[in-house]
A and B are shown apart, each in its own frame.
Chain A
Amino acid sequence: VQLVQSGADVKKPGASVKVSCKASGYTFTNNGINWVRQVPGQGLEWMGWIGTYSGNTNYAQKFQGRVTMTTDTSTTTAYMELRSLRSDDTAVYYCARDSPDSSDWGTFDIWGQGTVVTVSS
């Protein structure tokens, strides 16, 4: 069971970035996928969730209007696109699977390796 994310990316302010997260080793549509980021020197920050079966999404208020989470069930891949990038979006972005052992929000049992996104002019 693993989540493998796309490689590091460098973007200019105002651009968009799309990070992928490929799942393997389990039935992709059984568990939702969350996106969490860590800005350098700061803590973990939940960005949102997508139901891999329904396609339903819940976004943290902070990112509403700037983020879109999608999935492609044919390739068992989840995507997170963040638009209108600013320098303070420079961070490591993680995808994380909802644990099958809990129905509680915030329980993530498998994490991707992280994708470094740098926003710089």
Chain B
Amino acid sequence: QSALTQPRSVSGSPGQSVIISCTGTSSDVGDYKSVSWYQHHPDKAPKLLIFGVSKRPSGVPDRFSGSQSGNTASLTISGLQAEDEADYYCCLYAGGYTFVIFGGGTQLTVL
């Protein structure tokens, strides 16, 4: 089973930009253009932010953007706002016996 590596925490001040990375292998991130990103506030349901590496569902602000280079996918949050403080998870199809895996999660702190 592959693992997706995310930084445990990132931080930024209001108005700034932050980038959250999600590193896998050539067998998952590098092979499938299917990374999705979720925002998870405590005691709430996760919310889909990005799918298919860089597509945004309707209603998600364009401050959230996704990209991929090689075996690393990235979520960029521009113009940080206080309400962006949450946990963020990457997710993708990993094949094999597990099918879907989540990254370990990144806690975003807005200073």
Contact = CB atoms under 8 A, between A and B. Distances in A.
A104 B48 contact: no
A41 to B, nearest CB: 11
Contacts of B46: 36, 44, 94, 96, 108, 111
B100 A105 contact: yes
B57 A101 contact: yes
B89 A43 contact: yes
Interface residues of B, number: 29
Interface residues of A, number: 27
Contacts of B104: 43
B34 interface: yes
Interface string A47-65: 0010000000010111010
B46 to A, nearest CB: 6
Interface in A67-87: none
Interface in A22-36: 34, 36
Interface of A: 34, 36, 43-46, 49, 58, 60-62, 64, 94, 96, 99, 101-102, 104-109, 111-114
Q: Which 4 A-B pairs have the closest CB atoms?
A: A104-B34, A111-B45, A105-B93, A61-B97
12 contacts: A43-B87, A43-B104, A44-B89, A44-B91, A46-B91, A58-B99, A99-B48, A104-B93, A105-B92, A106-B92, A106-B100, A111-B45
